[in-house]
A and B are shown apart, each in its own frame.
Chain A
Amino acid sequence: MSGMLSTGLNGLRAFQLAIDVTSQNVVNANTDGYVRQRAELATRPAVPSAGAWLASGVQVARIAREVDVYRVAQSRDAATQAQNAATRMQEIGRVVAALGRGQDGLPGALQRVRDALEALTAAPATRSVRVELLAKLDDAATEIRAVDARWRDFDREWGQRMTTLVGELNADARAIADLNRQIAIGAAAAGTPSPTLLDQRDQLLDRLAGYADLRVVEDAEGKVNVFAGRGRALVVGDVATAVKAEDFAADSGGTLGALASSRAPLLSGARDELGALAAALAERLNTTHAEGVDGAGRSGTPLFSTPVATVTPRSGNTGSATVVATLDDTDALTIKNYRLQRVADAWVLSRLDDGTPVPMSGSGSVIDPLRAEGLAIEVSGVAANGDGFEIYPTRELACDFTATVTDPTRVAAAASGLGPGDNGNARRLLLAFDSVAPSDAGTTLIDRLDRLQLRLSRTQQIAARDAEVTQVARADIDRQRSNVSGVNLDEEAARLLQLQQAYQAAAQVVRMSDELFRTLLDATH
């Protein structure tokens, strides 16, 4: 009978605990990051009694935290991908929009240059037509500069955002390291880790997954080691290591990877293209303009500033060499950047992106510069072996591209030797404008801009599709995760009823053991 009493009392205690756990689930049904818990009931160890083994009641064996670690990992991967695609879609969209569409922005400005050239062929000597042409050339140059300035603004903004995000990431990493410590202490004291702390840590990890690729490895103590981006250790045990924005690149995944990839290769590539377009415009029109004469018989001066390549010496160069690179032949230009390096007392040129060596002719002197892929490179001073220079032929051309002729009488519309009423050179200017390069017959400068715009738009469209697909995948895996870890109120209500009944029954067992005891007392009275 004392067994019956203690069994009943154990039951009351166990069911009370189980009801507590269920109540927790009910009230936290809408708490972010809450993982439902379940009291697992088990029989208490059996004891030998009257020659048989008799279980000694019920107990809560453990309070389980309902979590599926694989789904959690999948949901974090999905978050990384979805954030990456969403950010890319948004930012590439801004890059495309900066170019403008149709009659607005750069395509419209170039079209108006063409119109003004057409008008010049019809009325080459009319002052208002010449003034209009110069205004349109200036508009086009201004628009090219403006696009580049907007793009550089984006680049700066993305850099700042990366720094801010990395700051948040470092703060989260410190919080995780701290939680690691607390969880281990709690687990040592109570035998099981605190579910609330585990929920908090999981939530932080979920957030980190949006920033960059995340790898989470749990150790025997229950501490998580966290690696972000391209395997950079963020948290090891109780220690968080601060990372910098530069540690994240285009392949880092998440928002940081998306921002990094928007800066390079996307934006730097687009700036190279825009610079190449400006160089082609300048080269085509400047050369043709020089072939004609103005009203006073003077040869045409350049219509646009002459493009010069950007050369960056590598830090750590020991020689005294300086390098100047000019665009020798804009038709032969590839939209690539180069590394010029002194190896075994000779200059070696290679592409910056994939290291492909590029053969050169010439010696590097002023009269015989090194020539390769449309570039002419002059070297002065003495270079030491190992010295290097990075050459960006068109990267910085758009940012200070200017129209240089302001006097309408200096428009050389006439062919050489003819009067101001001749339109021979105006027609040649139009032809030059209409053909980018002999190798690219039938392509106008506007077509070329169109191709850049189309390429960027396609990239954005792909990112948009990625964003949609990854968003659906993320919602799907999050739903699965929530179906395991989230609370179902009907289920909890049913469980409450079930536990309430069990509690009542256990109370009856206690009452009955009391009655039996009383019967015995009465019998022996």
Chain B
Amino acid sequence: MRISTRTFLEQPVTDMTRLQATLGVTQQEIASGVRQSASEPATASRLGALDRSVARLAQYERNAAFVGDRLRSTETAIADAGDVLQRIHELAVQAGSGTLDGASRKLIAAEVRSLRDHLLGVANRIDPNGGYLFGGSRSEQAPFVEHWGIVQYQGDEALRAVEVLPGRAIADGVDGGAFAEIQAEGETRDVFAAIDGFASALESVADGSLSEQDFSASIADTLTISNAGIDHYVLLRARIGGRLATLDSCLSTRANIHADLLAQASQLRDLDMAEAISRLQAQLTGLQAAQLSYTKLARLSLFDYF
């Protein structure tokens, strides 16, 4: 076959250019540590989806931290409320022992009043982000408002569900209205009213406007309510504890999903360095051979023998 001199001289140049281009790709792979195939449409799209899933997990992580903070604040508040009721119970036992004089009963009444104010503060506590813990959706105003000495609930029962995993939402609090509602012997009693009643009974018996008999009934009632209240707050706390436990298990699920996503992305993206370097070596050898043979072939000419 006849070959023109130009083709004979240019073809190897084209081939060497191609070899150089392949070498360039390998070199870039090694420099960046990313497979060339990662930029192919299907792979790039898959990687994009994986990256987005990772970003989504990060947002779930932030949500979970937010819910966790709020639930822990709620748990502390409920524990504090339990402590208040515990102390009320102790004071009721003490006041009921019958050996106290009027001054001592007044002292107890003062402590009960201050405990009630403390409990109101607990009920109006805010979460780390500034929202009221027990306000439901009316998170910007104090849910328990004292009006003419009577505490009224002005929040709502709305609970916020926050996603902490795909399809897994956790309520970030408890029904605020239920905070003050204690079930005792089949009826619903307001904790503030009950404590106020106890304090009034103490004050009244101390200044003689309440009979000892009625006072005993009031002590019995206070003991019943404080016992029910302690149980009520233990129960609420258990419910919050359960959510916190769920949150923890979601944390480990997220960690597993995260690791899995990263592994999948790595498989598509990350270069096998050993393989790439040996490929580079082979390509270099090929190019060197092409260059050597070219310099030898290009020198051949019949005119040299004229």
Contact = CB atoms under 8 A, between A and B. Distances in A.
Contacts of A461: 40-41
Contacts of A421: 131-132, 135-140, 158, 160
A457 B137 contact: no
Interface in A429-464: 430, 446, 450, 453-454, 457-458, 460-461
A102 B269 CA distance: 13
A485 B8 CA distance: 13
Contact of B301 (A119, A414, A427, A490): A490
Contact of B139 (A30, A118, A419, A484): A419
A124 B135 CA distance: 14
A205 interface: no
B4 A457 contact: no
B42 A488 contact: no
Interface stretch (B61-69, B209-217, B227-235, B254-262): B61-69
Contacts of B7: 479, 482-483, 486
Interface stretch (A107-115, A188-196, A360-368, A379-387): A107-115
Contact of B45 (A115, A453, A484, A485): A453
Interface of A: 29-30, 36, 101-103, 107, 111, 114-115, 118-119, 121-126, 295, 414-415, 418-424, 427, 430, 446, 450, 453-454, 457-458, 460-461, 475, 479, 482-491, 493-494
B140 A419 contact: yes
A277 B156 CA distance: 38
B45 A494 contact: no
Contacts of A424: 137, 158
Scoring B3, B11, B45 by chain A CB atoms within 10 A of each residue's CB, the highest score goes to B45
Given A119-B62, A122-B62, A486-B5, A454 B51 contact: no
A419 B134 CA distance: 13
A419 B41 CA distance: 46
B123 interface: no
Contact of A494 (B52, B55, B156, B302): B302
Nearest to B159: A422
Given A118-B56, A118-B63, A488-B2, 13 more contacts: A102-B51, A115-B59, A122-B66, A125-B131, A125-B139, A418-B138, A423-B161, A453-B45, A457-B44, A485-B4, A486-B6, A489-B5, A493-B303
Contacts of B163: 118, 121, 430
Nearest to B6: A486
Given A123-B129, A458-B41, A460-B41, A419 B11 contact: no
B172 interface: yes
B139 A420 contact: yes
Contacts of A484: 2
B249 interface: no
Contacts of A101: 44, 48
A118 B130 CA distance: 19
Nearest to B300: A490
B44 A414 contact: no
Contact of A488 (B5, B45, B135): B5
Interface string B108-144: 0000000000000000000001111001111110000
Contacts of B1: 483
Nearest to B63: A122
Scoring A115, A453, A487 by chain B CB atoms within 10 A of each residue's CB, the highest score goes to A115
A421 B139 CA distance: 5
Contacts of B49: 450
Nearest to A418: B137
A117 B48 CA distance: 20
B306 interface: yes
Nearest to B8: A488
A420 B137 contact: yes
B6 A454 contact: no
Contacts of B45: 450, 453-454, 457
A487 B162 CA distance: 79
A101 B38 CA distance: 12
A51 B66 CA distance: 122
B198 interface: no
B56 A114 contact: yes
Contact of A487 (B5, B52, B161): B5
A495 to B, nearest CB: 10
Given A421-B136, A450-B49, A121 B162 contact: yes
B137 A427 contact: no
Nearest to A479: B7
